Amino acid sequence: MKKRSLTIDGHRTSISLEDEFWEGLKHIANIRGNTLVDIVKKIDERRNSGLSSAIRIFVLNYYKDQ
């Protein structure tokens, strides 16, 4: 598990995810032509749970839909 710090809307936040989810998130951002921060910001705006959980669900749903 890796912890990374990102700045979202001027707020510093730390996110802990397994390497596979970080890689999946980077892949999705690359495919969509977004930065990692852009993708996390969109997830953050729509989440109903903790940010790490919301990212895992986002990545899982992306690959389920493929």
Q: What is the pLDDT of residues 7-34, one digit of tens each?
A: 988 999 999 999 999 999 999 999 999 9
Residue 3 three-state SS? strand
Looking at residue 51, its pLDDT comes to: 94
Reported pTM: 0.90
Which tokens belong to 19?
Answer: 């390497």
Looking at residue 57, its pLDDT comes to: 96
Looking at residue 35, its pLDDT comes to: 95
Domain architecture of the chain: domains with CATH: 2-64 (1.10.3990.20)
SS (H, E, C) 4-29: EEEEECCEEEEEEECHHHHHHHHHHH
Cα distance between residue 9 and residue 45, in whole Å? 11
Q: What is the pLDDT of residues 30-41, one digit of tens each?
A: 999 999 999 999
Q: What are phi and psi of 65, to 5 degrees?
A: -80, -10
